[in-house]
Chains A and B, each alone.
Chain A
Amino acid sequence: MSHLLGIPLPAILGQLMLGLVNGSFYALLSLGLAVIFGLLGVVNFAHGAFYMLGAFAAYIGLQLFGIGYWWSLLLAPLAVGLLGILTERLFLRHLYRLDPLYGLLLTFGLALIAEGVMRSQFGSSGNSYPVPEQLRGGLNLGFMVLPVYRAWVVLASLGVCTLTWFVIERTRLGATLRAATENARLVQAFGINVPILVMFTYAGGVALAAFAGVLAAPIVQVRPLMGSSLVIVVFAVVVIGGMGSILGAIVTGLALGVIEGLTKVVYPEASNIVVFVIMAIVLVWRPAGLFGRE
């Protein structure tokens, strides 16, 4: 049982684990993207930039102020969330009445600004962030060695995804949010402050991206362009899953990460493009996406 179809089992399991890790990031990011799109009607192109800023917030926090990993996990999303509030107040708010394309273009411009500023300050090369002490090393499971930090990433993002799902689908606040997504004017008429709700939704969505960024910091190089190609993959994930569904975003994200990981074992050259190929197939077969409604 050490080979499967002629491929050594540890290699498969290792890539499966990597795939799950990437899938967790896809899930966290596409979840935020879906929530923001649901309420604001804005496709947040800056999502990758906010993810990058989250990772940099952790990096800068550690270098300059000695803020450790665990505090960063809390503080970086808060800081980036504040930036999100600013973005919503200053820019996005004025675009809701217009064609949604303008929101996409605006956030694309904001992403360029964020990436440019970080590149001028930190250069284009990567900075490494240490794995927190408590999560170093690996667990020997007998058939493979499981790196503790990677397992933590998967568990932490699944936990946050579940929490977000719970808040949106099972609480009063979430019910208000879903109602506002369906019909903002009616909800406003019931005396709920929709503009504030919208603002905090955007902040929450980008805070999720920043959380993913902090989780990623110890396993990828922290660099200004770390989010720019990731956001395109996440767009593809969202198109595949359909933007209407929270659970759909989570499941699709994880599944595509795993598929990508397995592709790396079977046919490494295609691992970069497999998500896009799947997107094309899904579009031909079910244009609204797997979980989407037209």
Chain B
Amino acid sequence: MKLQRATVWVYAVLVALALAAPLLGLYPVFVMKLLCYALFACAFNLLLGYTRMLSFGHAAFFGAAAYVTGWLIGARGWGTLSGILGGVLVALLLGAVIGAIAVRRRGIYFAMITLALAQLVYFICLEASFTGGENGLQGIPRGNLLGFIDLGRDGTMYYFVLAMFAAAYLLIRRIVQSPFGQVLKAIRENEPRAISLGYRVDRYKLLAFVLSAGLAGLAGALKALVLGFATLSDVSQGTSGDVILMTMLGGSGTFLGPLAGAGVVLTLEEYLSDRVGAWATVVIGVIFVVCVMVFRRGFVGEIERWFGRRATPVDKPG
């Protein structure tokens, strides 16, 4: 009860902050980037937090969509919305193929397979002709909405990204709270029992994977438009690792955790990258280790536990 009231307040503050962000003098491009990565982490959380599937290759969907959207809009002259849609469709398709192969194994094998297949996507992006190889795609135009709303201005673009983010976030909430989401949680808690209850677990897992891939693709497509570029780093294992860290640090299996995690990790990377060079990787690595050793519930998970609600049982042996 207490927690629910607190949650309402947290959301109210977040929405107010999000709407007022451009007025508060925050650097709009950074806030937009944050929203993109937060969406990426939320999409990832759908898998890790609610189905307990650790994909180590989510950068493949994020990066592939970034490339495809950038290419469709930049080189083929597509409109903004159709370009984003194209990127998301490719991510969904890629998710269906990789997912169909990976859900044949569970646990760490699943993680290793997604990692390897994402590396395959990485090499394809490195060698394909439309991705610009080592340079990536630069100067992707943002275009306009409905022919008259110019997204080139950061202020306008910000509300467009915010609206997309809000829609995707609500969709994820809806998915998790639907009967389908309940089945996913049942699989997370006890897969053999879900099977014995007659659920075709592999199909549920595949659908969750495809949905997560599509939403990660949306995040990647938006990111390509916000920053105006798509590079190999978007499809690299480093990006896959980042999204895992964001979700874990914030609290996997919570709604607000991935937002918090994305905020902390991005701020940290932004702050560290020009100051300490390669030590930034060390800091990220140390946070990873600390997270795994003593902070497995993440920020939001710990807070929820503090408020006494039964938090996600993260320590269950697999």
Distance in Å: Cβ of A88 to nearest Cβ of chain B: 14
- Separation of A288 and B281 alpha carbons in the complex (Å): 35
Which A residues touch B124, using CB under 8 A?
Answer: 273
The yes or no answer to B30 lying at the interface (CB within 8 A) is no
- Separation of A238 and B113 alpha carbons in the complex (Å): 10
Of A98, A228, A235, which is within 8 A of B112 by CB?
A: A235
Query: Is A100 within 8 A of B105, CB to CB?
Result: no
Which A residues touch B73, using CB under 8 A?
Answer: none
Of B248, B285, B317, which is within 8 A of A98 by CB?
A: B317
- Separation of A97 and B124 alpha carbons in the complex (Å): 39
Which residue on B lies nearest to A121, using beta carbons? B278
Query: Is B288 within 8 A of A109, CB to CB?
Result: yes
- Separation of A233 and B120 alpha carbons in the complex (Å): 10
Q: Kindly identify, within residues 146 to 169 of chain B, every residue whose CB is under 8 Å from any CB belonging to chain A.
A: none
Query: Is B116 within 8 A of A43, CB to CB?
Result: no
Main secondary structure of the interface of A (DSSP, over half): helix
Query: Is B120 within 8 A of A273, CB to CB?
Result: yes
Distance in Å: Cβ of B100 to nearest Cβ of chain A: 8
Query: Is B116 within 8 A of A239, CB to CB?
Result: yes
The yes or no answer to A101 lying at the interface (CB within 8 A) is yes
- Separation of A228 and B281 alpha carbons in the complex (Å): 13
Query: Is A99 within 8 A of B318, CB to CB?
Result: yes
The yes or no answer to A94 lying at the interface (CB within 8 A) is yes
Q: Kindly identify, within residues 231 to 255 of chain A, every residue whose CB is under 8 Å from any CB belonging to chain B.
A: 232-233, 235-236, 238-239
Counting chain A residues whose Cβ lies within 8 A of the other chain, the interface size class is 35 or more
Distance in Å: Cβ of A50 to nearest Cβ of chain B: 14
- Separation of A280 and B98 alpha carbons in the complex (Å): 9
Which B residues touch A98, using CB under 8 A?
Answer: 296, 315, 317
Query: Is B292 within 8 A of A235, CB to CB?
Result: no
Of B237, B285, B291, B315, which is within 8 A of A232 by CB?
A: B237
Distance in Å: Cβ of A125 to nearest Cβ of chain B: 12
Which B residues touch A116, using CB under 8 A?
Answer: 278-285
Query: Is B111 within 8 A of A104, CB to CB?
Result: yes
Distance in Å: Cβ of A260 to nearest Cβ of chain B: 12
Query: Is B281 within 8 A of A283, CB to CB?
Result: no
Which A residues touch B314, using CB under 8 A?
Answer: 99
Q: Kindly identify, within residues 106 to 157 of chain A, every residue whose CB is under 8 Å from any CB belonging to chain B.
A: 106, 108-117, 119-120, 124
Query: Is B54 within 8 A of A104, CB to CB?
Result: yes
The yes or no answer to A82 lying at the interface (CB within 8 A) is no
Distance in Å: Cβ of A256 to nearest Cβ of chain B: 12
Query: Is B282 within 8 A of A276, CB to CB?
Result: no
The yes or no answer to A9 lying at the interface (CB within 8 A) is no
The yes or no answer to A160 lying at the interface (CB within 8 A) is no
- Separation of A54 and B134 alpha carbons in the complex (Å): 29
Which B residues touch A273, using CB under 8 A?
Answer: 120, 123-124
Q: Kindly identify, within residues 44 to 63 of chain A, every residue whose CB is under 8 Å from any CB belonging to chain B.
A: none
The yes or no answer to A102 lying at the interface (CB within 8 A) is yes
The yes or no answer to B107 lying at the interface (CB within 8 A) is yes
Q: Kindly identify, within residues 260 to 283 of chain B, every residue whose CB is under 8 Å from any CB belonging to chain A.
A: 277-283
Which residue on A lies nearest to B109, using beta carbons? A239
- Separation of A146 and B286 alpha carbons in the complex (Å): 45
Query: Is B284 within 8 A of A112, CB to CB?
Result: yes
The yes or no answer to A279 lying at the interface (CB within 8 A) is yes
- Separation of A229 and B56 alpha carbons in the complex (Å): 14
- Separation of A110 and B293 alpha carbons in the complex (Å): 12
Instruction: Known contacts A99-B318, A239-B116, A280-B101; decide if A113 and B278 are in contact (CB<8 Å).
Output: no
Distance in Å: Cβ of B262 to nearest Cβ of chain A: 17
A→B interface (CB under 8 Å): 43, 91, 94-95, 97-102, 104-106, 108-117, 119-120, 124, 228-229, 232-233, 235-236, 238-239, 269, 272-273, 275-277, 279-280, 283-284, 287
Q: 9 pairs across A/B with beta carbons < 8 Å?
A: A91-B293, A98-B317, A99-B107, A104-B111, A119-B278, A120-B277, A120-B279, A233-B119, A280-B101
